[in-house]
Amino acid sequence: MDIDTQTFLLANGVVVVISGFSFIVNTVLRGNDEVGRTWSVAFIAGILAALAYAVWEFAPSSWWILAVGNAAISLSVAALWSGTRQFNDRSPLLWVSFAASGVVGLSALVGGPDGGAWAGALEMFIAIATFAALSGAETLRGHFRQSLNARVLTVVFLAVSAYYLCRSIVFLVDTSEGEVFLQYFGTTTTTCVSMGLVILGAISMSVLVAGRGQRESMPATSGIPTIEGVLPWEMFRQHSSDWLLRAFRERDDLVLIVLDIANLDDMNTAFGRVYGDEAIRAVGRITVENSPSAAIVGHSSGKRFVVLTSAPSVGDAVIVAERLHTALVESPIDPVEGIRAVATCGLATTGRDGYDFEALYKTSLKALAAARDSGPGTIKLAGSGAPRTGY
């Protein structure tokens, strides 16, 4: 039985809408989840692309709708890349995704009404292949390495990248009217591939985001013995809120330092989870021993510690972080192996970011993401210039 192109596009649109709607609803129900929100942007863009192509198929005179569709589908894949970076606690760089999709849309508009059905197609193919490859690479690092389900996402992204890379090459060599292009890389074939990959990707991302939420909400000490002097996350939040309230009343300046063990994943991979747990305990002890006397230390997740202390000046805040970094570098976790933890730090101060704990913590996480982008061992103070290295 032969199925025409319009039917394939309609079926693809239904799959995209159902998958996207399901993911977006789950994101809303989960509450404040930044990765889910970013990936929701990707699904919304995918739904817009499906609608745009459906309009063009039934009303070819609306030539401009192709630019909307091309830009939207490029944004969909690019936003997925932004979400994978965010999943690994890195800066999402959403502006890059929007800028790239804007370029793709403009390339389709340049030809005007005479541009034809494939106006801006090559630019779109290249954008999709590039961002899918970047997404696949991102799923092989960081938090993704802790989930077997992430491998499904890796295969999906790399398959999309390989398909669109081949499609770009055949488009250039064989042209859009060529027999090879129409038979193996035409609209019908691409729609079939798209439907399968959208379903697999949506399921995988839903599971990953749900697992991420469980990881974030899990008590920091789950499975790890209590570290003397380190408060569990909820207790740390409560004490910090009380301290910030008093500091606001007295106009005292405080700094919140978020410290990540940058090489914990490598230690887990090389020596096993037991060794990694010992590394977490060692970093906790070192952090407590080298924090100022007027400080409280908390454990917010497996590899992340948080310190709240006084900082009369901006320089004092950075000095505290540098002291912690130096102590970690100089204190081997295992005297036999000589392996040391490398810390990446994000800082936020009450003088710049206010005395609300949630806002202060969110700002420090953004600074941490910026520091991580600059490499392990980097210290970044929110609102300052270039990150500083602890080396």
State whether 133 and 27 are in the same domain: yes
State whether 82 and 164 are in the same domain: yes
| In-domain check, residue 126 | yes
| In-domain check, residue 307 | yes
Residue 32 has a pLDDT of: 56
Answer positive or negative: Cα dihedral of 307, 312, 318, 324: negative
State whether 277 and 371 are in the same domain: yes
Residue 226 has a pLDDT of: 67
State whether 243 and 211 are in the same domain: no
State whether 81 and 192 are in the same domain: yes
| In-domain check, residue 276 | yes
Residue 307 has a pLDDT of: 93
Determine contact, residues 128/197, Cβ cutoff 8 Å: no
Residue 21 has a pLDDT of: 67
State whether 20 and 161 are in the same domain: yes
State whether 235 and 208 are in the same domain: no
Closest listed residue to residue 250, CA positions, set 294, 218, 305: 294
Residue 133 has a pLDDT of: 93
Surface-to-core class of residue 112, CB atoms within 10 Å of its CB (0-12 exposed, 13-18 middle, 19+ buried): exposed
Residue 103 has a pLDDT of: 93
Where among 188, 217, 246 does a domain terminate? 217
| In-domain check, residue 91 | yes
Residue 212 has a pLDDT of: 60
Where among 164, 196, 217 does a domain terminate? 217
CATH number reported for the structural domain that contains residue 147 in this entry: 1.20.1070
State whether 79 and 183 are in the same domain: yes
| In-domain check, residue 160 | yes
Domain residue limits at 178: 5-217
Q: In the chain, how many domains are there?
A: 2
State whether 165 and 38 are in the same domain: yes
Residue 102 has a pLDDT of: 93
Digit-coded pLDDT (tens) for 156-198? 889 889 999 998 999 898 887 888 887 777 776 776 667 666 7
Residue 16 has a pLDDT of: 65
CATH number reported for the structural domain that contains residue 301 in this entry: 3.30.70.270
State whether 103 and 37 are in the same domain: yes
State whether 198 and 240 are in the same domain: no
| In-domain check, residue 224 | no
Q: In what order do the strands lie in the sheet with 343-349?
A: 230-232, 295-301, 304-310, 254-261, 343-349, 378-381, 388-389
The pLDDT tens digits along the chain (391 residues) read 455 555 655 665 566 667 666 767 766 666 557 888 888 888 888 888 888 887 877 777 778 888 998 998 899 889 999 988 888 878 888 999 999 999 999 998 987 777 777 888 899 999 999 999 999 999 888 778 767 678 888 888 898 899 999 989 998 988 878 888 877 777 767 766 676 667 767 777 777 776 665 544 444 444 445 678 888 888 898 999 999 999 888 888 899 999 988 887 777 777 777 777 788 888 888 888 888 888 899 988 778 899 999 887 767 788 888 888 888 888 877 666 677 888 889 999 998 889 999 899 989 988 888 888 887 778 888 766 545 554 3
Residue 213 has a pLDDT of: 53
Instruction: Give the pairing type, strands 304-310 and 230-232.
Output: unpaired
| In-domain check, residue 133 | yes
Where among 182, 217, 252 does a domain terminate? 217
Digit-coded pLDDT (tens) for 49-64? 888 887 877 777 778 8
State whether 31 and 93 are in the same domain: yes
| In-domain check, residue 222 | no
Residue 146 has a pLDDT of: 66
Closest listed residue to residue 97, CA positions, set 134, 67, 64, 143: 134
Residue 168: partners with Cβ closer than 8 Å, 6 or more residues away: 122, 125, 126, 129
